[in-house]
Structure 1
Amino acid sequence: MASKCCENVSLLVCLIIIMFGMGSWIAINGIWVELPLLVDQLPEGWNLPSYMAVVTQIANIGPLTYILTNVSCPSRNLQRPVVYAMVIIGSAASFLLAFYWTRTSVVGGVEHSTALLVLMFFLSFVDCTSSVVFLPFMNVFKPEYMTSYYVGEGFSGLIPSLVALGQGVGAVECVNQSFTNTTTNVTEFSTGAVYLEPHFPVKYFFLFVFSMMVTCGIAFVLLNNLPLCKREYADRESKITHSYDLCEEINMVRTQKIVSETHGDEEPEQSVEHHATVIKLSKCSYLYLLIVIAWTNALTNGVLPSIQTYACLPYGSESYHLAVTLSQIANPGACFLAFFIPGTSGTVLGAVTLTGSAVSAYILALAVYSPTPPLVGSATGPVLAVASFVLVFFLFTFAKVNIATVLRHAGGRGLLWCGAVTQLGSALGVAAIFVVVNVYQAFVQKYPCT
């Protein structure tokens, strides 16, 4: 199966699609990994992430507007013009961010990072909309290229993390500090965290993000105009339609003895290399897949990143940064596994989702018990915390890639609704954990050097 998939794709086209997919979330991921440097210089301090989360959710007006326009005017092909507009907006915003991110202004009598938040809105607008524009664009290509897009999307989180790691973001030094107690007039001593100077400034990091957005735009131009890429478009004149019910045991990749939509007889085996197979999903199957997509994105894009500091910092700053970086590496790793070993059957998807949910529950328990979670102070605790984040992102990415492949075979607006539900699940996850963290204050933060 792996050899057949490899023979049916162009490695150069895969690379171009990966570069295109990298532009999907790299701008927002870039801002979040720079947080330790941003909060040290901006007036909001560590309240800045809550403002950023709100701005990101407001930006969901982008995908909502696109979906409503697409549904109300299905005959208008807005996909390519919208992608070009998004790349231009994302490139301009990231470029301006490099020079103006420190600009502040007084709003309602309080100083705020207006330049950063306004530019972040435009970047969030682009990245959120990418879920309902970039992903459906992959309908143009053979289904085998879906994995390449998800690899690129994974790199959009991995590459900024690696660059920030080389920059030295979050490196702290514990120093003894003295202060005078105004009540007792006695000098007291404590240990505090001092963030070390980065190897290069924030400005250069945002210019790097700008270059990645430009690379995404160049890749999109190539995908639309390069003859090599056009040869990899899906064959829309030769399609085989099958019924497909995930409520029964299914396996889309190894399509054997699948009943035809129009006839009850078995179709003769067709070569995947020469035909575009279209699978007709039942309502039960469609709903199941969309629920899984919503659930996995609610956890990976909303809940787990929001509680990562609570779950990992009690084990040390090194454990936190390893969890952030290695979980991003797990994302493209899961995509590569899905390319060579597809897992689209109902049993596999269910098992992967349940296992990932169980690991997520363990991570949630670590956050609840912060600042003294189980095995704190031992060698086993940080290993389990880091491994849990890596495993859950690996499993959920594997599930998302395979579900997107199924929906790609379903044709129609399958990938559009996949992107829409991705954003819906992410938004619900962020909203739910925001209430738990900020309203009910269910978690206690462990700060470095305390």
Structure 2
Amino acid sequence: MIEQELEPNKSEDVKFLPENSNAIETVEKKEPKCIDLLNKTACVLFGMGWLPLHFVFSQIPHIIQTAPEKWSLPSQVVIVISLGNIIVLIHYFNKRRLLSYDTTLIFATFIINIASLIAIAFTFDIVVPINGQPHSLFLFIFIFFLASGGCMSVLLFLPFMSRLKKEYLVPYFIGQGVDASVPGLLGLLQGVTSDGNCPNSSEMVFSSRYFFLLGAFFVILSAISFFHLNKQVESRVRSKDESKSSNETKTNCQRSYYVLLLVLQAISSFFQYGIMTGLQSYSCLPYRYGKLVYQVTVNANQFLGGIIVYLISLTELKSTRRLLVISALQMCIISYEITTAFMSPTPPMVLSLFGSVHIAFVWIIGNVTLFYTKLSIAAILREKSPKHLYYYGAATQVGAAAGALCSFVVNGKFLNFAVNSICTILLGDVKKRYATEIDTMRENAYQIFKTGRATGIENYFFFLRDFFIEILGRSIKLYGDRFVQTVIEEHRASLDENYIGDYIDAYLLQQKKEKESSGIKMYCLLLLCLSNPDKELVACLNEIIQTASESTGQTEAFLLLHTAMHPEVQKKMHEELDEVLGDRLPKLDDRSSLPYTDAVIHETIRINSIAPISQVHVATETTQFCGYTIPKDTFITFALREILMDPEIFEEPEKFKPERFLDRELKSKLIAFGLGKRACIGEVISKNTLFLFTTYFFQKYCISLPKGYENPSTEPEPGFTTGARPFKIIIQERR
């Protein structure tokens, strides 16, 4: 039996193990250093299985400028890449039939990757109409093939590496660690596409077409490396009976231990390749040196990945105890990173230098623990059959796919900004304790303005108020009342006369002062609200949250629309924000130092008045006004939009000209929120929120309109409160 296994012409010595051993150990002649170095270099190149997709990722910022999908291109690419997992499922259900063809499948993967990159180079800018809409059909088709190849590499490459010497596993993982740095470095050499909005942008040295062709060249090098490694595999003598060894593994080692390792690998991939990528910007950017922190942490992962893997390989990788300890540390670090992301834009120590240093350290150490977990699990499974490394690849792919899906869902936080900011100003720092309640109030505000009550008809016919409450459902009103009442009671219990943290503090302190100065008057007022002494405050807070959140959200949309259509306005805002704020977060006290930014907000409010008419007023007595007699009890409303578009007050009112509000006298004529005691009570809150949103957003981003589309309409959608019609913009981080 032994003689049948060995070929006589092999230049290897065979050492027989003791009789109770079930395997044959081969003692190979030590290879020359140059050959060993060549093999390790080939392992590094072979380990770059996701290199083709990284070339695509590096070109998305350039392609997005001309692709018909514009700003939605990245999310659509993510979906197409996720579909590549279909090929993994096909292989999994046919793995027994295909296991003997793994070498052929690896060669086929390289051929598909090379052909797809060459095809993308010549077709990425071809537009195909589908149902009357332009789409980058060929780009998506070939990205799908690249994704299929990338997913297959996770399943096939590691089992193949188990046939080589175990010391070649580390170079393979070094290749995995640096596969993103190759297109990253080429992308830096290539330069950026200028869109006319972001300053200091350089011209492209070579086009995307040549970039993809360079990618095909690197994949060819990787394929040649595999051809060389496969020759090394064919020249080695493997163990006598692999199936018998595999059966021994099942009897000698508990199956649950390997299941635990695979679960740990899936969890690590879930965070490393999925959700943490989407949350990293939220965690890093708010800090004092946020841009630098974000850049350092991302580059440390991309460019230092190979070095990190090499340093980790010098440690003990097969210690189960150390693996579990580092995995526990990894979960603690990830939990902290997620916490800082969800606390954005005010994570711990946000304004201090130490805060910036500590968050960069946390992310770098977190990446090190992820690399260690991945390499340690692979080293443990490497001692077993290729079957174990196959499941290692499957666990990696499942975790990465689940993480990408969760990341796509988590990042839809933008629309909650208005309500979160308003609630912070009114109710204090309650976001962490009452996140569910705040989300419900946001939905309630939307429902209120969506229903018939939002027409304001109950302001003319007061007996209809209860009728509309029934239509909306008393649960909406009662829910808001209970939540706000709970927050008021918390404030009253911790009230400090020397500190006013929010609207409720100010109201309660003023209430206390009036009670002390005029006890009888206050006593009478309390009798009117005997059932609930906070009834007026509760009603006021609910009204502000409902009205201010609606007006703020719609005005934010109009502001983005107009600034995207006027890049010269953005340029002036960026210059002012850079000069006054630098890298620190904006504050309400900065308004007087940012006159142009404040003027942009006022001009947006004027040119697209959210409320075309004011709240109803009633003449308490017969009045003469401009030659007209207004009888007592006459209902009066202001045509706010007509006033704000009056050319006698605002020169060229149809044009977006923020400079007009640099004149303080003209600001007093902006009556978009009404006049008198029945003016909108959410005016101050809404303006403060708009100021914080605008300064924070344009401090970090610039926006533009996608090319190839008609300019969007600035005409509002009609309704009780007007809103912006759907439009598309491109948001880019400022460099």
TM range (shorter): 0.7 to 0.9
Residue in 1 aligned with 2:206? 200
Q: Take 2:94 and 2:113, find their aligned partners in 1: how far apart are those partners? A: 21
Give CA deviations for 1:222-279 in whole Å, capped at 9, x if unaligned: 11225xx655x4742499x999xxxxxxxxxxxxxxxxx69xxxxxxxxxxxxxxx99
Structure 2 residue identity aligned to 1:291: V
Measure the CA separation in 2 of the matches of 1:223 and 1:145. 10
8 Å Cα contact 2:177-2:306 kept in structure 1: yes
Distance change >3 Å, CA 105–CA 172, structure 1 → 2: closer
Tell me if the contact between 2:317 and 2:379 (Cα under 8 Å) persists in the aligned partners: no
Give a deviation string over 1:381-421, Cα, whole Å, max 9, x none. 44334333332222211111111111111215001100011
Aligned CA distance change for structure 1 residues 287 and 171 (closer, same or farther; 3 Å): farther
**One-letter amino acid of the structure 1 residue matched with residue 77 of structure 2:** M
SS of aligned partner of 1:77:
helix
Tell which structure's C-alpha radius of gyration is larger.
2
Whether 1:15 aligns to 2:41 is: yes
Please tell me whether residue 401 in structure 1 is matched to residue 401 in structure 2: no
SS in 2 for 1:78: helix
Cα contact 1:327–1:389 (8 A) shared by 2: no
Mapped pair 1:338 → 2:326:
no
1:376 and 1:108 map into 2 onto residues whose CA distance is 48
The Cα offsets for residues 267-317 of structure 1, whole Å up to 9 and x where unpaired, read as xxxxxxxxxxx9953112111100110000000111112223333344454
SS in 2 for 1:341: coil
Report the CA distance shift for 1:414/1:299 in structure 2 as closer, same or farther (over 3 A): same
CA shift for structure 1 position 423: 0.5
**Alignment match, 2:100:** 77
TM-score (norm 1): 0.77
Within the candidate set 310, 323, 333, 2:282 is matched to 310
The letter of the residue matching 1:364 is I
For 1:345 and 1:279, locate their aligned partners in 2 and report how far apart those are by CA, in whole Å.
Answer: 21
The 1-side partners of 2:360 and 2:63 are apart by: 25
Does residue 362 (structure 1) correspond to residue 362 (structure 2)? The answer is: no
TM-score by length of 2: 0.49
The 2-side partners of 1:402 and 1:234 are apart by 26
3-state DSSP class of the match of 2:206?
coil
Q: 2:154 aligns with which of 128, 131, 138?
A: 131
Q: How does 1:312-327 map to 2 (within 5 A)?
A: 312-314=284-286, 315-327=289-301
2:532 maps to: none
Contact 1:280–1:410 at 8 Å: present in 2 too? no
Report the Cα offset of residue 205 of structure 1. Answer: 2.0
How do 1:273-284 and structure 2 match up within 5 A? 280-284=252-256
User: Corresponding residue for 1:165?
Assistant: 188
User: Retained in 1: the 8 A contact 2:178–2:304?
Assistant: no
| Residue 441 (structure 1) shift | 6.5
Asked if 2 retains the 8 angstrom alpha-carbon contact of 1:172 and 1:193, the reply is no
**Matched-pair contact (CA < 8 Å) for 2:317–2:380:** no
Counterpart among 81, 94, 117 of residue 56 in structure 1: 81
Note the residue ranges of structure 1 that are not aligned, 5 or more in a row.
Answer: 1-6, 176-191, 244-260, 263-277
CA distance in 1, matches of 2:329, 2:38: 35
Tell me which residue corresponds to 2:145. Answer: 122
1:45 matched to which residue of 2? 70
Q: Cα gap change, 1:441/1:351 in structure 2, threshold over 3 Å: closer, same or farther?
A: farther
The aligned residue for residue 118 of structure 2 is: 95
In structure 2, relative to structure 1, the CA distance for the partners of 1:172 and 1:440 (3 Å cut) is: closer
Number of equivalent positions:
390
Q: How does 1:361-400 map to 2 (within 5 A)?
A: 361-376=335-350, 378-400=352-374
Distance 1:360 1:155 in 2: 22
1:442 Cα deviation from its structure 2 partner: 7.4
- Deviation at 1:38? 2.5
Q: Which residue of 1 aligns with 2:395?
A: 421
For residues 46 and 372 of structure 1, the distance between their equivalents in structure 2, rounded to whole angstroms, comes to: 27
Partner of 1:188: none
Structure with the largest fraction of strand: 1
Question: CA shift at 1:102, angstroms?
Answer: 1.8
The Cα offsets for residues 350-404 of structure 1, whole Å up to 9 and x where unpaired, read as 1222222222223223322334544445434443343333322222111111111
State percent identity of aligned pairs.
Answer: 28
1:195, distance to aligned residue in structure 2 (A): 4.8
**What is the letter of the counterpart of residue 165 of structure 1?**
L
In structure 1, the residue matched to 2:218 is 212
Write the letter of the residue equivalent to 2:39.
Answer: V
Q: Residues 383 and 42 of structure 1: is their aligned pair in 2 closer, same or farther, counting only changes over 3 Å?
A: farther
Instruction: Compare relative contact order (CA 8 Å, sep 6+) and give the higher one, 1 or 2.
Output: 1
CA separation of 1:304/1:372 partners in 2, compared to 1, >3 Å: closer, same or farther?
same
The alignment yields a C-alpha RMSD, in angstroms, of 3.3
Match of 1:273 in 2: none
Deviation at residue 198 of structure 1 after TM alignment: 3.1
Matches within 5 A, 1:183-194: none
After TM superposition, give the deviation of residue 156 of structure 1 in Å.
Answer: 1.1
- Match of residue 257 from structure 2: 285
Corresponding position: 1:155 with 2:178: yes
Q: Secondary structure at the match of 1:106?
A: strand
Q: Give the corresponding residue for 2:239.
A: 236
The 3-state SS of whatever aligns with 1:111 is strand
Is the 8 Å Cα contact of residues 34 and 169 (structure 1) preserved in structure 2?
no
Question: Does the 8 A contact of 1:330 with 1:391 survive in 2?
Answer: no
Instruction: Name the structure 2 match of 1:297.
Output: 269
C-alpha spacing 1:411/1:96, structure 2 compared with 1 (3 Å): same
